[in-house]
């Protein structure tokens, strides 16, 4: 049964969508908007916190600021005198921040002996209108609810239009290869900047009975409304990761007509796509892949380039939207420009790390007034190298001078687009699998690594001492356990099965130098 709230939100959204799509933002207008944003960045930041934090009694940030002794007047003086980032660093030192566990509501915030409970719903922006409901990707634990405002979608569309124009005069022919649900939001953002995607390929069958009905009816409703607006959006076409050749053929056909195919997807499916193109003798020279959700490592990039395509990284989070876009003169395979008209960013540094926050952790804060979730020094569980440098690419001319690269998760496993925390694996690895198949809590371990050709590999190690067992049954039990639920979990579980990412291996779990057996063992990736 569809919740009444979903019906109300969808009805409100559909009533406003035609007017939204009839007025796309031009590149000239977008550049002017970004200049204005950067000029009043400090004022916008202060206005957001005044309305959505200081005037919002339920906000956990208000409690943190009060505990830090920072009233609005104090914050205003800090920002006016030293800028947004300097003020955020001072707030961080005084305990105003959220780790990813605290942000997700999995752990209470404790500062100076005071406990502050955090409910992700309390982080919603009270000034943001709920036009479209979404959820962050995640595990079987609580996920962050995100109610997307069409004003915020238009804010992000401005940045997308500028980054598309930076690639050259020929307009690209856009397509998405992603699961139902969160894809609807970026489809609308690209349509708003005058570049509606032409195709939507889904790695999961949109008609699968396992999918929640909201994925089907919301996509249909948006297609109907977009047709009324005269800017039709594509329907979802099932193209599994195991057979990406239809997408490769579409890209090759676009190239033959002189167009630029522009595919947005995760990096590991992109590698599969390029391998299929190479095997079929298809030349993808000139094609562009905008990749998100997983690291773009040199090995993956090499496979993509062998097929003739180019990979451009995106840094995206459902809770924050698009955080950065590809540098066109990069020094690293995943280098992006930070959209600091939309976001502020600081890092703890070597002297400021706290439990759950390593030195290179990224702490994000919101700037725009209609952002769906208010972020104030919030960690999404990612770390990166952050630097200011002159690259000479067109995005620098816009005013985006902060660069991020070597972006990696320090608390999450992401492979094939599925994300979950180490804490969420404990029940499966220490309880469910041992109860069903035997053995002790330390006999099962998940290992994420990358093959020589850039493909992700996820191995479920089972200690030989457990005794004889059916590896296929173990894999199925694991996938079933992490796919519980009817929403995001089920979608991503289907994607893992289709991509055949998981392998069960009989060997002793790996240990750290101190002798620990971690639930999730990731091959170390150094940050220089």
3-state SS, 150-185, equals: HHHHHHHHHHHHHHHHCCCCCCCEEEEECCCCCCHH
Residue 458: C-alpha distances to residues 216, 380, 386 (Å): 30, 22, 29
- CB under 8 Å to 227, separation ≥6 — which residues? none
Pairwise CA distance, residues 185 & 197, whole Å: 12
- Please report, for residues 25, 26, 35, 340, 483, the alpha-carbon distance to residue 32 in angstroms, rounded to integers and kept in the order given: 11, 10, 5, 15, 45
* Residue 321: pLDDT over 60: yes
Place of tokens 């039709």: 232
Angstrom distances, CA of residue 430 to CA of 165, 254, 334: 51, 50, 35
Among 54-68, 169-183, 186-200, 221-235, name the one with the lowest average pLDDT. 221-235
Nearby residues of 492 by Cβ (< 8 Å), 6 or more positions away: 137, 179, 417, 418, 419, 483
Tokens of 416: 């094939």
Is the pLDDT assigned to residue 127 strictly greater than 90? no
User: Structural domain boundaries of the chain?
Assistant: 418-522
Query: Binning pLDDT at 50, 70 and 90, where does residue 515 land?
Result: very low
Confidence bin at 404 (pLDDT 50/70/90): very high
Total-model pTM:
0.79
* Per-residue pLDDT tens over the stretch 343-393: 999 999 988 878 889 899 999 999 999 998 999 999 988 999 999 999 999
Q: Smallest Cα–Cα separation from 295: which of 277, 284, 311, 306?
A: 311
């Amino acid at each position: 049964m569809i919740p009444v709230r979903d019906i109300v939100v969808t009805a409100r959204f559909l009533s406003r969508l035609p007017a939204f799509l009839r007025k796309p933002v031009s590149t000239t207008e977008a550049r002017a908007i970004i200049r204005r944003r950067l000029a009043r960045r400090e004022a916008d930041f202060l206005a957001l916190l005044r309305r959505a934090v200081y005037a919002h009694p339920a906000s956990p940030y208000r409690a943190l600021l009060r505990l830090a002794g920072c009233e609005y007047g104090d914050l205003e003086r800090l920002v006016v005198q030293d800028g947004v980032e300097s003020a955020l660093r001072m707030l961080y030192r005084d305990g105003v921040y959220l780790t990813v566990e605290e942000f997700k509501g999995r752990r209470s915030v404790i500062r100076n002996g005071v406990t502050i409970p955090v409910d992700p719903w309390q982080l919603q922006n009270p000034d943001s209108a709920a036009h479209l409901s979404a959820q962050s990707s995640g595990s079987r634990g609580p996920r962050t609810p995100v109610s997307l405002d069409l004003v915020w979608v238009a804010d992000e569309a401005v940045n997308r239009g500028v980054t598309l124009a930076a690639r050259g005069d020929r307009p690209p022919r856009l397509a998405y290869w992603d699961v139902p649900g969160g894809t609807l939001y970026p489809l609308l953002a690209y349509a708003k900047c005058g570049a509606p995607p032409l195709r939507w390929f889904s790695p999961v069958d949109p008609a699968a009975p396992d999918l929640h009905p909201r994925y089907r009816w919301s996509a249909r409703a948006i297609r109907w409304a977009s047709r009324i607006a005269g800017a039709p959006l594509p329907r979802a076409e099932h193209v599994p990761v195991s057979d990406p050749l239809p997408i490769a053929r579409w890209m090759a056909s676009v190239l033959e007509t002189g167009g630029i195919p522009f595919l947005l997807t995760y990096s590991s499916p992109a590698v599969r796509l390029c391998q299929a193109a190479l095997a079929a003798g298809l030349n993808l020279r000139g094609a562009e892949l905008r990749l998100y959700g997983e690291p773009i490592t040199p090995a993956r990039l090499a496979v993509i380039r062998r097929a003739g395509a180019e990979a451009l990284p995106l840094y995206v989070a459902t809770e924050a939207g698009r955080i950065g876009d590809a540098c066109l003169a990069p020094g690293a395979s995943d280098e992006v420009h930070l959209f600091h008209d939309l976001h502020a960013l600081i890092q703890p540094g070597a002297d400021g790390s706290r439990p759950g926050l390593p030195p290179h952790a990224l702490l994000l804060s919101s700037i725009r007034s209609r952002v769906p979730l208010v972020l104030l020094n919030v960690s999404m569980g990612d770390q990166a190298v952050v630097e200011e440098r002159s690259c000479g690419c067109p995005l620098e001319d816009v005013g985006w001078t902060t660069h991020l690269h070597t972006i990696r998760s320090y608390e999450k496993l992401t492979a094939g687009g599925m994300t979950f925390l180490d804490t969420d694996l404990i029940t499966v690895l220490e309880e469910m699998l041992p109860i069903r198949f035997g053995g002790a809590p330390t006999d099962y371990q998940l290992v994420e690594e990358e093959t020589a050709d850039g493909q992700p590999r996820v191995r479920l190690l089972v200690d030989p001492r457990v005794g004889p067992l059916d590896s296929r049954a173990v894999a199925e039990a694991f996938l079933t356990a992490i796919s519980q639920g009817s929403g995001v979990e089920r979608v991503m579980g289907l994607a893992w099965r289709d991509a055949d990412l998981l392998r069960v291996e009989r060997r002793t779990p790996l240990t750290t130098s101190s002798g620990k057996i971690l639930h999730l063992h990731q091959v170390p990736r150094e940050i220089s």
